[in-house]
């Protein structure tokens, strides 16, 4: 179980009631495909996005349950930003559909806050002015919570944004996003350019906000090691395709690293889905999709850390992805 999990345990999402004030589809909505049930925060079917001649995203079908903190990871140019921007309705899909809390992206009545890559703030503005700006633009603005948060972080309202450290600027940007009281918070690489301590502080304060409000979060990052324990859903995007989409606890319990004699590796691989395989002399090390150790005593087995699982998938882009959640309700 992730430390900061905010949603119900895996498998129970379908029966979760609508939380009050989430802006989710009303139960009386005749077009609501999820009557009486909580729609996924994000659902895409056959999503593709082309820039001029080149596809940045192809055939992406996934569902992230509501109330989750989902990490979107993948190498440079994988399509993470494109996925996030289509989710918030800033980019129209070339193919397929994107739904946010059950409604087409861009039409969803849910509150969405998007923190774009590079912390877009005005360096010449004082923090107080940024707050005033946000207050004027957002009807759901929570000024008191924003000021309390900044005070707790020791960020003075009179400071100019340009004079803040990278970590403090991220915290201000996050505070402005949270003050909108969104149902879905989308953060594009909020940890980029931060030192390890600042990354930890930003993740911790994000998780505190999630624990207080129960909002859904989509967060892209390259720093897989710092997402474990904070995020509870993982999307691996690679070469424009979603390779993995699943509950992090399920991924961790569903993969193992096996070490044993190289001559027995083929037989093992015939029985278990192998994600990666390395051989050193007579010894083979395999990352397999399996919840238990093989009965063969020649094989030793250990759990696979999340980073190792992610890297193994990224190194095998042609590999079939994990089963995606089938959250589409029976009709």
**Site residues (vs ligand ATP, CB under 6 A):** 51-52, 56, 74, 76-82
Burial of 156 (0-12, 13-18, 19+ CB in 10 A): exposed
The CB-of-60 to ligand ATP minimum distance in angstroms stands at: 12
The CB-of-184 to ligand ATP minimum distance in angstroms stands at: 18
- The C-alpha atoms of residue 133 and residue 307 are separated, in whole angstroms, by 39
- The C-alpha atoms of residue 322 and residue 57 are separated, in whole angstroms, by 18
Tell me the sheet residues that pair with 231: 228
**Token pair belonging to 231:** 């995020």
* Whether the Cβ atoms of residue 172 and residue 121 lie closer than 8 Å to each other: yes
The CB-of-302 to ligand ATP minimum distance in angstroms stands at: 30
* Whether the Cβ atoms of residue 70 and residue 184 lie closer than 8 Å to each other: no
> Considering beta carbons, is residue 86 or 168 the nearer one to ligand ATP?
86
> Considering beta carbons, is residue 13 or 188 the nearer one to ligand ATP?
188
> Considering beta carbons, is residue 51 or 122 the nearer one to ligand ATP?
51
Pairing of strands 69-73, 233-238: parallel
The CB-of-50 to ligand ATP minimum distance in angstroms stands at: 9
> Considering beta carbons, is residue 75 or 214 the nearer one to ligand ATP?
75
**Token pair belonging to 157:** 């309202």
- The C-alpha atoms of residue 331 and residue 320 are separated, in whole angstroms, by 28
> Considering beta carbons, is residue 78 or 314 the nearer one to ligand ATP?
78
The CB-of-72 to ligand ATP minimum distance in angstroms stands at: 8
């Amino acid at each position: 179980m992730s430390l900061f999990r905010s949603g119900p345990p895996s498998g129970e999402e379908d029966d979760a009631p609508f939380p009050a004030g989430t802006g989710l589809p009303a139960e009386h909505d005749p077009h609501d495909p999820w009557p009486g049930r909580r729609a996924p925060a994000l659902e895409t079917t056959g999503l593709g996005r082309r820039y001029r001649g080149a596809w940045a995203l192809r055939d992406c079908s996934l569902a992230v349950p509501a109330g989750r903190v989902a990490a979107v990871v993948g190498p440079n140019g994988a399509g993470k930003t494109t996925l996030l921007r289509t989710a918030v309705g800033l980019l129209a899909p070339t193919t397929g559909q994107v739904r946010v809390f059950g409604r087409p992206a861009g039409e969803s009545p849910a509150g969405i806050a998007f923190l774009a890559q590079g912390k877009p703030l005005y360096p010449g503005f004082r923090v107080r002015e940024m707050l005033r700006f946000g207050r004027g633009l957002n009807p759901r603005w929570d000024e008191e919570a924003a000021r309390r948060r900044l005070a707790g972080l020791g960020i003075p309202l009179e400071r100019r944004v340009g004079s803040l450290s990278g970590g403090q600027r991220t915290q201000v940007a996050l505070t402005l996003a949270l003050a909108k009281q969104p149902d879905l918070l989308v953060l594009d690489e909020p940890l980029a350019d931060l030192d390890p301590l600042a990354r930890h502080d930003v993740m911790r304060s994000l998780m505190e906000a999630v624990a207080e409000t129960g909002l859904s979060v989509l967060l892209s990052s390259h720093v897989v090691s710092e997402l474990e324990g904070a995020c509870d859903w993982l999307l691996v995007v690679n070469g424009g395709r979603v390779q993995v989409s699943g509950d992090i606890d399920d991924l961790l319990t569903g993969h193992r690293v096996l070490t044993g004699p190289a001559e027995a590796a083929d037989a093992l691989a015939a029985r278990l889905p192998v994600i990666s395989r390395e051989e050193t002399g007579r010894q083979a090390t395999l990352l397999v999709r399996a919840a238990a150790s093989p009965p063969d005593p020649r094989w030793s087995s250990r759990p696979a850390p999340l980073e190792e699982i992610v890297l193994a998938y990224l190194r095998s882009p042609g590999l079939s992805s994990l089963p995606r959640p089938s959250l589409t309700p029976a009709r």
